[in-house]
Amino acid sequence: MTYLFSAVVCLGLVVLETTIIADIAIFEDAYDLLVTFVAYLGLYRSIKESIPVIVCVGFVMDNLSGAPFGLYLTAYLWIFAGIRWGMRYLHVRTSALVMFVVPIAVFIEQILFVAVLFMQTPSGISAPLFSKRLGGQLFWAILTGPFFLMFYEVFHSHIEKWTADRKAERNGL
């Protein structure tokens, strides 16, 4: 059920960001929405459960995008690792710090993207363009990131509770 939930959410996010969001001018600097789900996995789910989902999502994104193969997968794995590492020292889940998890994840992803672009064409990226895009993405991430995390947590726990109840009912019968 957990994997089904992850598959449905990820597919929904991929379709949303490659169709609707990509066509609306106001979301020109929108961030990669799958980062929110990777952050959620890093914060609330186990490594065993998260890694297969992240690998699958990274693979899909790498194939849908024109980015060098492996870039999305790399970004998601480093974001996940970063969040897990951060949680060893900070009580992210239970504090206001949770608001900054998505923006930090977006920041990590963009730094990786720009590093790879820089490897391809060192003179290709201008600082003003990078600042503008990063600023826009961080703005949207701060504004919407916590809501995504809340949504995943509430929805996922409801599904788990529902599944557990059904199991208990079956066992009781």
Partner 1 sequence: MFSKKTVMIVGVILLIAVNIIILSVTSTRYPSFGPGRIAIALTAPFQTAVVGTTRFFSDIWQRYFMLVGVARENEKLSHALRTSREENHRLEEVALSNQRLRQLLEFQQKTARRVVAAEVIGKDPSPWFKTIIVDKGLEDGLTKSLPVVVPEGVVGQVIELAGNYSKVLLVIDQNSAVDALVQRTRARGIVAGAIDSGCLFKYVLRKHDVQVGDAVVTSGLDGVFPKGLRVGQVSGVVKRTAGIFQEVTVMPYADFETLEEVLVILNPPTHPGTEVP
Binding site for partner 1 (CB under 8 A): 11, 14-20, 22-23, 25, 28-29, 32, 59-71, 74, 113-114, 116-117, 119-121, 124-126, 129, 133
Query: Could you tell me where the beta strands, DSSP code E, fall in 11-157?
Result: none
Nearest distance from residue 67's CB to partner 1, in Å? 5
Query: Are 32 and 145 contacting, i.e. CB atoms less than 8 angstroms apart?
Result: no
Cα separation, 159 vs 162, whole angstroms: 5
Shortest Å distance, C-beta 167 to partner 1: 29
CB 43 within 8 A of CB 149: yes
Which DSSP letter does residue 18 get? I
As measured in angstroms, the least distance from the Cβ of 39 to partner 1 is 16
Q: How many CB atoms lie within 10 A of CB 97?
A: 14
**Which lies closer to partner 1 via its Cβ, residue 73 or residue 98?**
73
Task: Specify the residue, 68 or 86, whose C-beta has the smaller distance to partner 1.
Answer: 68
Nearest to partner 1 of 98, 106 (CB atom): 106
